[in-house]
Amino acid sequence: MTSEKLTKFGIKVRKYRVELGETLYQMAKTLGVSPSYLSGVETGRKRASEELVEQLIKHLELDMVNALELKKAAAETGPELRIPLKGKGNEARYVAAMFARRFSSGEFSELKEALESINNEGYGENE
């Protein structure tokens, strides 16, 4: 895994976990999540739910400043949007890539609407 994929949030969570002397399994069990999910959060492969962020703050007994920093880091990971391309042709893939480049994280609702429009019209299905 490259460091490019690591998120500020994941790095913070791992740092706190290691400082507590907890294994991934121990912390995951305490938080009520699977070790693979927590690992995914730490490595940036999965986005933490708001509920998990709150559980972490409570479990880590973070003061207000550190809790706000952790929440900010979680928010900066941005929402995940998946573009369904299975079975789609090259033209649909090209359009999806163009959308992904065009929209910033603050414009996800516009991107979602555009993708839903494309999917509803069956764009690229017969390629």
Nearest residue to 48 via CA among 8, 84, 85: 8
Over residues 20-30, the pLDDT tens digits come to: 999 999 999 99
Q: What are the boundaries of each domain within the chain? A: 8-76, 81-127
Between the alpha carbon of residue 126 and those of residues 88, 94, 115, 116, the distances in Å are 8, 15, 17, 17
Over residues 67-116, the pLDDT tens digits come to: 999 999 998 886 556 677 888 888 888 877 776 666 555 556 666 676 67
DSSP states of 61-92: T--HHHHHHHHHHHHHT--------TT--HHH
pLDDT for the residue 28: 96
In angstroms, rounded to a whole number, what is the distance separating the alpha carbons of residues 46 and 10? Answer: 9
CATH domain 8-76 topology: 434 Repressor (Amino-terminal Domain) (1.10.260)
Residue with more model confidence, 123 or 83: 83
